[in-house]
Structure 1
Amino acid sequence: MKFRISPGLIRLQKECKMKHQTELNAAVSILERGIRAKVRAPFFLRILGRKHISIRIRKLYAGTLLECSAAYLATGIKEEELKEVDTERALELMQLHGIKIAEAVAIAALNSKWKIRMFSKMMASFLVWNMHWRELFALLEFILVYNGTSDFMNTTRLLRAAKITDPSNLGQNKKKGS
């Protein structure tokens, strides 16, 4: 028995592929350009007349993503909680985890091993005192969504399911007996 696919279904599949490709291209474009956030300038720059500075978050290197992930995971916040945050919950999260959230954003903005080691704590403190909490949450959500954490998680789940790194699978099994 032959099955015939209707032209409408084929057109629908093509539209879905084009829509997915468009979304993928938009995400890549955003990562290439990066996202800018305005922050109130430090005191010495405000004296010179500069009111705001901008920080840019671009595509994260693997090491930066690991550091940023460590700072984010230290908070214990789930990604779904960030998307559906009301004002009271956001204030509670900032009170409990504000420094770690700012540190994750600072690590993403610095995006270099030595910059992160030297300036991440200082920049996190600066961001806490000079950036609005909604912007911090928006930047953290951008980091989580657009910087490949889903790809990383899919790979991790695949490895866990395959149990490639399971010690019982790492060698020959010895038979007991003669």
Structure 2
Amino acid sequence: MQEMELLTADTLLEKGVLLPIKAPLIFRLFGMKQLKFYRPSAGNQLRIDSLYLKMGISDDEIGEISLHQAKELELKHTYTHCRIIAIAMFKGILFPWLLNRIVAVWLKWNLNQKQIMYAAELLLAMGGTANFMNTTRLIREMKITTPGLGQKTPKKS
């Protein structure tokens, strides 16, 4: 069942996930009526990963947490989660870099906490880290750079 959920989330990111709010006026002037976020490109995924790692939240911290500590984390990291969503809304190099802070502030004031966490969790969990790790393991097992048994090593003169 978990594989089906992963496949569903993967498909959602490929097609784009609609955010349940109207686009800001400036975007509507350029024809964007609703906001969508997509699977980020490799460069934007690195930006997202960098923001996530800068938050410094470990699984151990989340396990045993009081309400007060949860509110502190919410206060400290909601803007960062909004930036992660804003980066995934744009494709390419320039737009995510230029607009993520402005759009993150707008998202913070127009989405509720549940919507922000859903979108950020979807992006962080399905962002492509598993594919990267599988490819790295495959390359390590193949040992592409070392000669195989049937290959002759070139003679040095």
Please, what TM-score do these two structures have when normalized by structure 1?
Answer: 0.59
Residue 149 of structure 1, aligned match among 123, 129, 140: 129
Structure 2 counterpart of 1:136: 116
Among all aligned residue pairs of Structure 1 and Structure 2, give the percentage whose two residues are the same amino acid.
28
Structure 1 counterpart of 2:101: 121
Question: Aligned pair 1:29/2:11, yes or no?
Answer: yes
Structure 2 counterpart of 1:172: none
Residue 111 of structure 1, aligned match among 91, 98, 113: 91
Show CA shifts across 1:54-74 (max 9, x none). 321222211111111111111
| Pairs aligned (count) | 136
Q: Aligned partner of 2:17: which letter?
A: I
Asked which structure has the greater RCO (Cα within 8 Å, sep 6+), the reply is 2
- The CA deviation at 1:33 is 1.6
Structure 2 counterpart of 1:72: 52
Residues 27 and 146, structure 1, Cα contact 8 Å, conserved in 2: yes
Q: Aligned partner of 2:124: which letter?
A: L
Q: Aligned partner of 1:69: which letter?
A: D
> CA 1:87/1:57 → structure 2, altered by over 3 Å: closer, same or farther?
farther
> CA 1:38/1:80 → structure 2, altered by over 3 Å: closer, same or farther?
farther
Structure 2 counterpart of 1:63: 43
Q: Give, in whole Å, the separation in 1 of the partners of 2:89 and 2:62.
A: 19
Show CA shifts across 1:61-112 (max 9, x none). 1111111111111111246877999975553222112221111111111232
Please, what TM-score do these two structures have when normalized by structure 2?
Answer: 0.66
Runs of 4+ in 1 over 4 A off after TM superposition: 19-25, 79-90, 153-156
Structure 2: give runs of 5+ residues left out of the alignment: 28-32, 144-157
* Larger Cα-atom Rg: 1
- The CA deviation at 1:21 is 6.8
Structure 2 counterpart of 1:38: 20
Alignment RMSD (CA, Å) = 3.6
> CA 1:89/1:21 → structure 2, altered by over 3 Å: closer, same or farther?
same
Q: Give, in whole Å, the separation in 1 of the partners of 2:110 and 2:5.
A: 33
Structure 1: give runs of 5+ residues left out of the alignment: 1-18, 46-52, 165-178
> CA 1:22/1:41 → structure 2, altered by over 3 Å: closer, same or farther?
closer
